[in-house]
Chain A
Amino acid sequence: MKRIFCVFLILATLCMTVSAASLSRGSRGDDVKALQTALKQRGFDPGAVDGIFGARTREAVIAFQKANNLTPDGVAGPKTLAALGLQTQSTGASSDVYLLARAVYAEARGEEYLGKVAVAAIVLNRVNDPGFPNSVSGVIYQPGAFDSVSDGQINLSPDEECIRAARDAFAGWDPTGGCLYYYNPKTATNKWMLSKPVLLTVGEHVFCR
């Protein structure tokens, strides 16, 4: 028991652990406090250590990212957290949100907010539909499902808006009314897809069931 306690103490001294895969504006709780403390210790001022990821925390994160040659997006993702000496230990939900946000960024970063939420909702509608895999990762990585997975764009870091869109879709927002497919009519060639009746058009994408 004593040995276990010592190991725990050493680990706790060496690094703090945060439970989220990424922290961004709006995040709250002990993880944000750990982030704010780490920023402060490194000379970046996030304001009060209050556990609220607000504008000042975001500015401090961006400043830290610039100083460490990281993408200055204001999102404390795995790389930023690691650079701050914070280990990530993602919960299932937070890593799913982050993966979904990556899919949204890869597929619809040029779209308006509604279009981003719509793409995120398509993924979640598929998770709930028996004709598709039963998990977010299963749907996103299903062979042939998304071009951005095939060409590697899925691995790009999402911006704040895509994370917000993914969170909104997870919280139940679905502007598509249960659609399962979408495509860009300017570039799509799949006849089967093109034969489906279009229910909604948002920006460059049309959505269908």
Chain B
Amino acid sequence: MRMKQTVKKSGMIVWIVFLTLLVCVMSAAAISQAARANATETQWENTLRASLQEAVDTLRNVENDLSKLLITTDEAATRQELSAVALKSAACAQALSRLPIVATGVQNTLKFANQLSSYCVTALHSSVDLPEDLDERLAAFFTTCQSVNEELALVEAQMLAGELALTDVQKQTVPTEGLFGSIADDLLEYPAVIFDGPFSDGQAETTPKQTREDVSREQAEETVRSLGYSCPYTGLQEGAIPVYVFSDENATVQITRAGGLLYQILAANVPGEETIDEETAARTAQAFADALDRGTMRNVWREYGAGTVTFNFAPEENGVLYYPDLLKIKISLESGKVVSFEGRNYWVNHHERAPETPALTADEARARLKDGFAVETERLCVISSYQKEVLCREFFGTYRGMEYAVYFAASDGREVTSFRILSTETGKMVL
């Protein structure tokens, strides 16, 4: 009996020791896990703080540079400062990109930094001379920059005082609306025309260069049916460019309300066995482009996709090719039919243009090419450069075994741009 009790007692002791050990091990694991999570969170917080600090520092430098620009009269010095502002505000934008998107103020500050950077680049490249209203616009940017810096200083102070954790901002465990104070849309009150660089609001506005009358839903439907589509009307999409949408499980067709032009066709096109070759597809695309009744459309390049080839067309008028008005037609190599169409650039950029006579002859332009550049084709074209259309003499050719396209302004012969052309698995790619 006593022995039985001793065994029972020792069994209990074993259990107690086991359970105690288990609790100890679990507690240790939990503490270790919490410590690891804490270390990770601290590391992430430090990364976010470093990004904010970098943004604050660079934007203070930008404000300083802008203040110097306000009194500079020498053109070379102005250009130098503009380059510095462009680089520093781009660096500021880069740092802000690493901060949580949830804070509206971050997004608006990022927008300001990107716009300032692009404006400076545009001002430097837009023409031979600096813009006439440069002073006025830089003054507007300077005022905004001062306000943004004041708000950033408050955030920085909160952060340094330990009152604000940026990880909490990301997790939205603190209110984000008031953060960054008044860095809101109304702070960025510069006119839209102040800026039209590569990342511009101007580009996002998608205002067409040609005014077009609105068409009715019925007229849009007529266009859809004439293209051979039977998909039903699903609604008017009030996006940046309002479009009537017709959609079913096979395709979605969009017709612009203004002008009633075919805007987009999109179909999933699951690839099957290819039954036609590329040249047959090219002829189908050309016929489709011609049927749109938009003048002479030239196939300028092509891109291979999954069982498809996409042909890019540009209109040609009086021997000049207009690249800004590009449209794309995708042909299925299985069915031989048009499966997709994209006409945004055409809708936005196409307008009646006054004919321009090139001052630079083809031979004069050719003489400007690098020695050893082997010309394959040459033609007159209009390209977009910093939101302006420039009539150019285009040369495709090779140099040291690499393919290039070089563009000289037909007015004064300056080199507007050049591209290196790479052959990739989906076609030619320009860099």
Contact = CB atoms under 8 A, between A and B. Distances in A.
Interface of A: 19-20, 23-29, 31-32, 52-55, 91-94, 112-114, 117, 125, 128-134, 138, 142-145, 160-161, 163-164, 167-168, 171-179, 190, 192, 199-200, 209
Interface of B: 48, 93-94, 97-102, 104, 107-108, 110-112, 114-115, 118, 170, 172, 177, 199-201, 203-204, 206, 237-243, 247, 249, 252, 254, 264, 266-274, 303-308, 310, 328, 340, 342, 344-345, 422-427, 429, 431
A94 B98 CA distance: 24
Given A143-B99, A164-B306, A168-B305, 8 more contacts: A20-B425, A27-B426, A54-B273, A113-B268, A134-B97, A163-B306, A164-B305, A199-B239
Contacts of B268: 112-114, 161, 164
A132 B96 CA distance: 9
B273 A134 contact: no
Nearest to A161: B268
Contact of B239 (A112, A171, A209): A209
A53 B202 CA distance: 40
Given A171-B328, A177-B241, A178-B240, A26 B304 contact: yes
22 contacts: A24-B306, A26-B304, A27-B425, A54-B307, A55-B272, A94-B424, A129-B204, A130-B114, A131-B107, A132-B110, A133-B97, A134-B114, A143-B98, A145-B101, A171-B303, A174-B264, A178-B239, A178-B241, A179-B239, A190-B102, A192-B104, A200-B237
Nearest to A125: B204
Nearest to A199: B239
Nearest to B305: A26
Chain B contact residues: helix, strand, loop or mixed: mixed
A163 B241 CA distance: 26
Most buried by A among B93, B204, B249, B422: B204
B384 to A, nearest CB: 14
B340 A168 contact: yes
Contacts, number: 161
Contact of A28 (B100, B243, B328, B426): B426
A144 B104 CA distance: 12
B425 A167 contact: no
Most buried by A among B99, B201, B273, B307: B307
